[in-house]
Amino acid sequence: MTVISMPHEFNEHDLFIDLRSVVGHSLFLKVEGLNFAGSVKLKAASGMVAAAEREGRLRPGSVIVESSSGNLGVALSMIAASKGYGFLCVTDRRCNLQTRLLMEALGAEVHVVTEPDPVRGLLGARMDYVRARCAADPRYVWLNQYENQNNWQAHYRQTAPAIDRQFPDLDVLFVGAGTTGTLMGCARWFREHRPSVRIVAVDVVGSVSFGGPSRNRAIPGLGMAVRPPLLDESYVDEVVMVEEADTVRACHRLARRGFLFGGSTGTVVSGATSWLARNGRDGLTAVTIAPDLGERYLDTVYQPNWVQDLYGDDVLQSLDVHVEPASAPLPIPSPRVPAESAGRSDAA
């Protein structure tokens, strides 16, 4: 029997789904949404809050403030409510309505930025608003998920070892790239403990994280309008870029097999599937990470009119047949660094 007193004390670490019957390749999906926050972001949120408390930055009366497209905001809303802090989530119009309502139900204030920064887009405008609020009121504490080392360290301590325990013969790990906390934590751990594991980052077309051109994106979660400060490309072997239409197709393909996942999960599954179609072989052990569940996407990714308006009338046709994303994987030119030199950026 499991008994908890705080909502963030519960998280299912060891559930994996065999997706062979769904995607046609041997691929195991690590489910990260079985907690009261509903996403992998609970790990980063818990780690950043605990560190801020140890450092004395969070005290009674403090108000946590964070820029988030949704999932981290929900996790911080939950933790703030359970610990007695205020919470302000600064988001933008891509944040799903259900996510905003959920944060507000947990007692959070939600501010929606509508005007993008001319260069840094909506994300840049969100961060500017956070800085302004913190400068105006000393009670506000910005955890700054984009630069906070506790973001990736949470996955170094928890996510990567959990994968290794279940798959000692792992060949390739696919990880979605947003702030790159999950990606960097897992990549660093496997570099140090299992350097033979190939790390493939999955990003969305329109994200600038790996040097591609910026483009409007409608699905929150993965992708960045500015280069993630946590990202160190020397830990990444390869990058797969996924069109949002393929994200939608992957989500619906999973849903038609009874698995309702969110947009970030659809992206990583689509990216992993396309990579395996090109590089898969018998006996290859491949794992990817499902960051979120699908209930918060019912009025977007799973709403036919929304999908057709953005991606066309035929986007959901022939879901029983795998549709290859048009874009090819992008190799990372930086050479892999030896494990003994990997700590240079960790101390930042």
> Residue 339: is its pLDDT beyond 50?
no
265-300 residues labelled b (16+ CB within 10 A) or e (exposed) = bbbbbbbbbbbbeeebeeebebbbbbbbbbbbbeeb
Do 184 and 318 fall within a single domain? Answer: yes
Residue where one domain finishes, among candidates 114, 142, 170: 142
> Residue 331: is its pLDDT beyond 60?
no
Query: pLDDT tens-digit profile of 95-116?
Result: 888 999 999 999 999 999 998 8
Residue where one domain finishes, among candidates 107, 142, 177: 142
Number of domains in the chain: 2
Do 135 and 210 fall within a single domain? Answer: no
Q: Which range (119-128, 253-262, 317-326) has the least confidence?
A: 317-326
Q: What is the CATH number of the domain that holds 283?
A: 3.40.50.1100
Name the burial class of residue 89, with classes exposed (0-12), middle (13-18) and buried (19+) by CB atoms within 10 angstroms of its CB: buried
Residue where one domain finishes, among candidates 142, 167, 191: 142
Do 251 and 117 fall within a single domain? Answer: no
Name the burial class of residue 128, with classes exposed (0-12), middle (13-18) and buried (19+) by CB atoms within 10 angstroms of its CB: middle
Task: Check residue 216 and give its pLDDT.
Answer: 87
Do 185 and 283 fall within a single domain? Answer: yes
Strand 16-18 to 28-31 pairing: antiparallel
Do 53 and 24 fall within a single domain? Answer: no
Residue 338 maps to a domain: no
Those residues with Cβ within 8 angstroms of residue 145's Cβ, 6 or more apart along the chain or in another chain: 44, 48, 66, 67, 68, 72, 151, 179, 181
Residue 344 maps to a domain: no
Task: Check residue 342 and give its pLDDT.
Answer: 35
C-beta of residue 112 within 8 angstroms of C-beta of residue 126: no
Give the whole-angstrom CA distance, residue 197 versus residue 107: 42
Give the H or E element holding residue 86.
Answer: strand 86-92
Task: Check residue 74 and give its pLDDT.
Answer: 97
Q: What is the pTM of this model?
A: 0.88
Do 93 and 191 fall within a single domain? Answer: no
Mean pLDDT of 126-154: 96
Task: Check residue 10 and give its pLDDT.
Answer: 92
**3-class secondary structure, 288:** strand
Do 168 and 25 fall within a single domain? Answer: yes
Query: pLDDT tens-digit profile of 203-231?
Result: 999 999 999 998 889 998 899 988 999 99
Strand 330-331 to 238-242 pairing: antiparallel
**3-class secondary structure, 172:** strand
> Residue 123: is its pLDDT beyond 90?
no
How sure is the predictor about 318, in pLDDT bands with cuts at 50, 70 and 90?
A: low
If one compares 302 and 313, the residue with the highest pLDDT of the two is 302
Give the H or E element holding residue 205.
Answer: none
Do 253 and 165 fall within a single domain? Answer: yes
Structural domain boundaries enclosing 170: 7-31+158-331
Do 81 and 196 fall within a single domain? Answer: no
Those residues with Cβ within 8 angstroms of residue 346's Cβ, 6 or more apart along the chain or in another chain: 149, 188
Do 192 and 238 fall within a single domain? Answer: yes
Do 94 and 207 fall within a single domain? Answer: no
Mean pLDDT of 302-326: 75
> Residue 150: is its pLDDT beyond 70?
yes
Give the whole-angstrom CA distance, residue 46 versus residue 69: 18
Instruction: Provide the token pair at 270.
Output: 């689509």
Query: pLDDT tens-digit profile of 9-59?
Result: 999 989 999 999 999 999 999 999 999 999 999 999 999 999 999 999 999
